[in-house]
Structure 1
Amino acid sequence: MAAEQDPFPGQPHLPELHVRLRTELSRIDEQLRSLLDAMDRMQGLLDAVVAISREVELPAVLHRIVTTAMDLVGARYGALGVLNDTGEHLEEFITAGLSARERADLAETGLPTGRGVLGHLISHPEPLRIGDILAHASSVGFPPGHPHLRTLLGVAIAVRGEIYGDLYLSERRDGQPFDVHDENVVMALASAAGIAIENVRLFEQVRVGAEQFQRLLLPTLPDLRPFTAAAVYRPAAEPSKLGGDWYDAIPLSDDVVAVVIGDVVGHDLHAAAAMASTRNMLRALLFDRDSSPGAVLSRLDRTLQAVTPNPVTTTALARIEPEGPGWRLRWSTAGHVPPLLITPERRVEVLTAEPGLPLGVDPEEPRPDHSRFLPPGTTLVFYTDGLIEHPAHPIDRSLGELTDLAAIHAALPLRDFVCALADDHPSDGHDDIALLALRTPTA
């Protein structure tokens, strides 16, 4: 009987086809998994760069760089060593991943000196991957209390072409040594970190310049005897913003003093310039002692409307003058937050009264005046809305918190008192704060 012939001579048999197909599918599956893993790493890197770039304070940026690098490669420990001006030693060392016990054990060790493998990366700022730290030629061991580390991935961070510091990662959580993929993603992060650090430095320069310019526009309080006074200005938490907040105090004749607090709408150079021109115009008008505060504000409003394109402004103007055994407060507000009155017994009252319209709205609208007798030892607090505004809280709640705070600190010397209010204010810090307190003489 003739042997059965293969109908497809030269072609693989069906079992071989199945084997080849499974092999090819496994290869494709592995490639897809690698591609998905690479996509996840790339998305993680992009998210990390965005997160780092959002920070505007250098300590927060440095800590975010460390924790982000740890997340990207699954490291248990991370650190960033910042070099000194010579680039030879560490002047700062930011760590993450240490437990409370590990931190306590290292509390007396102090800042790393930059010896061993840390020093190797300082001297040779190329990427460094070590599978066994103790076996490395540059290793000098660990100080007492230091967790025992086996693996290390180190990458230098450069800012404007100069080495700023080194990023160190240790101990992958899966127990594996760091690989070339880890190195590549951390190197990419280090490049973005250098840009973020430089941006924060530039941001800080702008912020400092803006704050210095703002302070130059504000007056130094003159000698107001027999009164005592203190003022403080705090810029908004968001950097580089100029503000329109201001305060002023002007001694007039016969032991009379005028006090003003104001806020020009806006946060830019125009607002700062408008604040300066408004303050100077008001100073000139205050020497007409026959005019009430409300009348002075009306004249100021009409003058501003006639000669400047200034934006809307809120302000409170007060005159304190002798009356019998104490003093008489006369004040008027133009859409401004109400001042506080603190009695000699440390009771705090919000001087709520008809506020009137802000400047720049309707200069013909009458401005109400208010009056209050002040016994000796009374404290008045004038402030801008940055002290109390919080988007999540109603204004009454913030005013209540401010009065409680004022009562707590009322016994402090006036300078310490205004600083305490500015430090512990109930607002969210999104706006500038100007604050001026004046205390009448004791009997």
Structure 2
Amino acid sequence: MSRKRPMDDADELLARLGSLTAQARERAVLQRSQVELAIALQRGMLPGELPATPRFRLAARYVPAFNGLNVGGDWYDAFVLPDGRIGLSIGDVQGHNIEAAAFMGQVRVGLRALASVTSEPGELLARTNDLLLSLGTELFATCVFMRLDPSTGVLESARAGHIPCVWATADGRSGIAEDEGGPPLGIQEGAEYPMTRYRLTTGGVFVLLTDGVVEGPALTVDEGLDHVVRLAGIAAVAGMDAGSLAAAVIKVSELVGHEDDAAVLVLGDEGPDVRP
């Protein structure tokens, strides 16, 4: 009976290692392809341009996360409603994969479509909730939807399980919006979403954001929000434009550790004398 030579054993080990290396390489290439596809889906579904009026300015920033497949469904949107008012939304879909990115597109498109029927924020979120439940998916989404009247500066807001917005005024006051809110979209049948009214005054700002901006290994959500509140207050007093504030807020995600994708949408009242 023959016995294997040591060299045979070494050759077999090398062959197995080579096979495992090839499989690992294939998985890495596949994973990277999935990440790139998810990012492309997200960026393709974000608006190319944001509406503007002679008085109000909108600016947005989005930063994807690159921690494995930690590419989720954060989005922002702004569009002109049939009655001339402006709709603003920001949200986050559960999960971090291609399915979450695709579901994000369904939520965003559903909000836009239903806004042509009703733009009252609370009712719009309730109808979107019913729509997502009818899809039969296990995913859900958090969201804030606001409706701005450019002629008065009145903001009407409803929130579905999402992180609250931040506000600031030109006289140095700033804080976190206190709208009551309801459950995330796609979880509870017949959910209701109370509406809260705000009024934006000259020099004031509203910051809509996702939790990837303010939550991470280095900071809690409350600590991250405190940073954004201070930034918004400084920006309003200094007369900073919406784009500069959005760029400053998105950098908070670096401070918290940036493990999740992050989105920011800033609405600024630059005054009645400002022209496009």
Q: Report how many residues are paired.
A: 247
Q: What residue in structure 2 maps to residue 417 of structure 1?
A: 245
Contact 2:205 2:232 in 1 (8 A): no
Q: Which residue of 2 aligns with 1:88?
A: none
Task: Find the counterpart in structure 1 of residue 199 from structure 2.
Answer: 373
**Which residue in 1 is equivalent to 2:53?**
225
Code of the aligned partner of 2:102:
A
Letter in 1 for 2:222: D
Looking at structure 1, the residues matched to 40 and 191 of structure 2 have their Cα atoms a distance apart, in angstroms, of 37
Kindly state the Cα deviation for residue 376 of structure 1 after the two structures are TM-superposed: 2.8
**Aligned counterpart, 2:163:** 337
1:216 aligns to 2:44 (yes or no): yes
Q: Structure 1, residues 215-249: CA drift from partner, whole Å, max 9, x if none?
A: 11212133332331111110114144331111110
Q: 1:312 to 1:438 in 2, by over 3 A?
A: same
- Structure 2 SS opposite 1:429: coil
CA contact (8 A) 2:72 2:261 kept: yes
Query: CA separation of 1:197/1:409 partners in 2, compared to 1, >3 Å: closer, same or farther?
Result: farther
TM-score scaled by length of structure 2: 0.79
Change (3 A) 1:204 1:268: closer
Q: CA deviation at 1:288?
A: 2.9
Q: Give 1:299 shift.
A: 0.8
Quote the Cα distance in structure 2 between the aligned partners of 1:254 and 1:281. Answer: 19
Q: Tell me the secondary structure at the aligned position of residue 60 of structure 2.
A: strand
Change in 2 beyond 3 A, CA 1:201/1:359 = closer
- Alignment partner of 1:383 out of 187, 202, 209: 209
Deviation at 1:348, TM superposition (A): 2.1
Which residue number corresponds to residue 431 of structure 1?
Answer: 260
What SS is found at the alignment partner of 1:336? Answer: coil
C-alpha distance in 2, partners of 1:276/1:206? 17
Question: 1:336 and 1:327, CA in 2 relative to 1: closer, same or farther beyond 3 A?
Answer: same
> What is the aligned partner in structure 2 of residue 287 from structure 1?
116
1:434 Cα offset (Å): 1.0
Asked whether the 8 Å contact 1:380–1:437 carries over to 2, the reply is yes
Instruction: Decide whether aligned partners of structure 1 residues 268 and 201 sit closer, same or farther in structure 2, where only a CA change above 3 A counts.
Output: closer
Q: Following superposition of structure 1 onto structure 2, how do residues 169-248 of structure 1 map, counting pairs within 5 Å?
A: 207-226=35-54, 227-248=56-77
The residue that corresponds to 1:186 in the other structure is none
- 1:308/1:281 Cα in 2 relative to 1: closer, same or farther (>3 Å)? farther
Q: CA deviation at 1:209?
A: 4.9
Q: CA deviation at 1:203?
A: 7.2
- Tell me which structure has the larger Cα radius of gyration: 1
Within 5 Å, which residues of 2 pair with 1:59-208? 207-208=35-36
Offset at residue 408 of structure 1 (A): 3.6
Question: Displacement, 1:395?
Answer: 2.6
Indicate whether 1:398 and 2:227 are aligned. no
Amino acid aligned to 2:247: C
**406-415 vs 274-283, which moves further:** 406-415
Relative to 1, partners in 2 of residues 1:393 and 1:336: Cα closer, same or farther, differing over 3 Å?
same
Letter matched to residue 158 of structure 2: S
**Residue 138 of structure 2 is aligned to residue 301 of structure 1:** no
1:249 counterpart residue number: 78
Rate the CA distance shift 1:248–1:204 in 2: closer, same or farther, 3 A. same
Q: Deviations over 1:340-391 (max 9, x none)?
A: 1121334322102212111122131221111112223321111111011124
**Partner Cα separation in structure 2 for residue 203 and residue 269 of structure 1:** 11
Q: Could you say which residue in structure 2 is the equivalent of 1:316?
A: 144
Give the match's secondary structure for 2:231: helix
In the superposition, relative to structure 1, how do residues 310 and 438 fare at CA in structure 2: closer, same or farther (>3 Å)? farther
Where in structure 2 are there 5+ consecutive unaligned residues? 1-20
Relative contact order (C-alpha < 8 Å, sep 6+): which is higher?
2
Instruction: Name the residue aligned to 2:97.
Output: 268
Q: What's the secondary structure of 2:87's corresponding residue?
A: strand
Paired amino acid for 1:333: R
User: Measured at CA, do residues 344 and 310 of structure 1 come closer, stay the same or move farther in structure 2, by a change above 3 Å?
Assistant: farther
Query: CA, structure 1 residues 280+197, in 2 after alignment: closer, same or farther (shift >3 Å)?
Result: closer
